[in-house]
């Protein structure tokens, strides 16, 4: 299957309940070539964006935080270290505003030895390759490339020092759609074992109609795998609450990619029907998570790639990927993407070892992640949609998180 190069689709219906159309900020701007991180010069403040310090790296480099807000009470904070979304505050059905993503109050939390050992990737940008590559290797152009094996025998989320641990250059913006920040990072040829020099740009836009648009853009000097994603953990009852098992989840997928004991896809595309992985109707996350099922046993819960349903399999249009409703607050999170898959992770390895914002210990399954993506280990599965980006091509991908409220899960259908 040929490499799918993504392009934005303007004015199309993204979700069953809403349509979005927005221009890509900074698309005509040159990619930054510096790896020094920090912020671009600012001559004036921008509506909806405030910048301040979030601390310093051990080598003295400054880490900035950008507070981005809209007129409807939604506020997000993004730091230049890892492109991490450190907080995301949204109103519930009664208008009460809570932070719905897991993370830390200070940079020290993200740099601590305990965090590095557990390494849950809270809120971070993931690259060059989101998810796993078997045995830390792949063949490309008759050459075997060796990557870091930082997840048992496998390569995970870009290696020992992926994009989540890099300092990005940031540029805030405000336009007719909303406000946000453009993040840039250039990955050197050979970084973490990947071939080619990869220029990457990621744009976060908080829109005035209560959506977070994430646009990914990359070019390369040599053929290389690219699979970028965002790794926020959500708890729609507010971060620090114990469990996400009562959240009702719908995933727009009739199939998934089964895994082996090391969480690597077997290469099969298997129907979800008749399995605990069937979320084609809104279902509590915890309803079947302890079922006697080999796939759940391998992952210690849900940690699986779902094959998104499309009218045309080769289409690059934005489609509904998932929708989540929390019964106590009425909060709804909708995810749309032009990626072919989405990884649903139920926070199986959160076990109270990490103390997050406000001194709250993050308990087992106290957050979930919905990572839009190409399939795991695609470089080693020629039948999967290709993740190889070549010189002269442009990698473009978009994911949209939309925030709203609903009185019942029936409104999610």
> By CB neighbour count within 10 A (0-12 exposed, 13-18 middle, 19+ buried), where does 32 fall?
buried
Q: Are strands 62-69 and 75-79 parallel, antiparallel or unpaired?
A: antiparallel
Residue with tokens 């749309």: 336
Q: Ramachandran region of residue 64, left (φ > 0), alpha (ψ -120 to 50) or beta?
A: beta
**Cis peptide bond N-terminal to 240, omega within 30:** no
Among residues 244, 255, 245, the alpha carbon closest in space to that of 279 is found at 255
CA distance 68 to 204: 10
CA distance 93 to 399: 24
Residue 138 structure tokens: 């792949």
In the chain the first and final C-alpha atoms are separated, in Å, by: 32
Residue with tokens 């990621």: 202
371 as an active site residue: the answer is yes
316 as an active site residue: the answer is no
Catalytic residue among 231, 247, 304, 381: 231
Going from the C-alpha of 241 to that of each of 9, 121, 354, 359, 408, the distances in angstroms are: 37, 19, 14, 12, 21
> By CB neighbour count within 10 A (0-12 exposed, 13-18 middle, 19+ buried), where does 280 fall?
middle
Catalytic residue among 171, 334, 371, 381: 371
SS3 for 279? Answer: coil
Going from the C-alpha of 47 to that of each of 147, 176, 330, 344, the distances in angstroms are: 43, 11, 29, 35
Going from the C-alpha of 119 to that of each of 227, 254, 346, 355, the distances in angstroms are: 19, 31, 15, 13
Q: Of all residues in the chain, what percent are helix, strand and coil, respectively (each to 5)?
A: 10, 40, 50
Residues annotated catalytic, as ranges: 231, 371
């Amino acid at each position: 299957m040929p490499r799918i190069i993504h392009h934005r689709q303007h004015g199309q219906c993204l979700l069953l309940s809403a349509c979005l159309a927005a221009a890509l900020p900074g698309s005509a701007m040159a990619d930054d070539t510096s790896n020094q991180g920090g912020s671009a010069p600012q001559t004036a403040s921008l509506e909806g964006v405030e910048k301040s310090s979030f601390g310093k790296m051990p080598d003295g480099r400054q880490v900035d935080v950008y507070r981005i807000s809209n007129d409807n009470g939604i506020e997000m904070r993004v730091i230049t270290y890892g492109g991490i979304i450190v907080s995301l505050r949204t109103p519930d059905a009664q208008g009460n505003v809570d932070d719905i993503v897991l993370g830390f109050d200070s940079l020290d939390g993200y740099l601590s030895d305990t965090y590095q050992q557990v390494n849950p990737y809270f809120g971070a940008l993931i690259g060059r390759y989101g998810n796993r590559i078997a045995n830390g290797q792949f063949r490309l152009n008759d050459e075997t490339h060796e990557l870091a094996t930082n997840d048992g025998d496998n390569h995970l989320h870009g290696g020992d020092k992926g994009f989540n641990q890099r300092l990005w250059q940031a540029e805030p913006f405000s336009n007719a759609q909303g406000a946000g920040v453009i993040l840039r990072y250039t990955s050197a040829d050979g970084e973490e074992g990947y071939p080619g020099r990869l220029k990457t740009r990621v744009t976060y836009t908080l829109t005035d109609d209560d959506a977070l648009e994430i646009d990914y853009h990359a070019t390369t000097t040599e053929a290389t795998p690219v699979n970028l994603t965002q790794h926020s953990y959500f708890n729609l009852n507010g971060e620090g609450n114990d469990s996400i098992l009562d959240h009702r989840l719908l995933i727009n997928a009739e199939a998934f990619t089964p895994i082996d004991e090391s969480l690597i896809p077997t290469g099969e595309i298997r129907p979800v029907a008749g399995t605990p992985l069937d979320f084609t109707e809104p279902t509590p996350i915890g309803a079947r998570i302890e079922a006697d099922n080999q796939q759940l046993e391998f992952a210690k819960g849900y940690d699986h790639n779902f094959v998104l349903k499309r009218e045309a399999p080769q289409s690059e249009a934005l489609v509904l990927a998932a929708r989540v409703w929390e019964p106590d607050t009425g909060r709804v999170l909708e995810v749309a993407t032009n990626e072919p898959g989405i990884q649903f992770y139920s926070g199986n390895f959160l076990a109270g070892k990490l103390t997050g914002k406000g001194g709250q210990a993050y308990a087992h399954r106290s957050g979930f992640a919905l990572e839009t993506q190409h399939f795991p280990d695609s470089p080693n599965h020629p039948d999967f949609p290709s993740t190889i980006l070549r010189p002269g091509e442009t990698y473009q991908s978009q994911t949209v998180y939309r925030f709203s409220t609903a009185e019942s899960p029936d409104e999610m259908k």
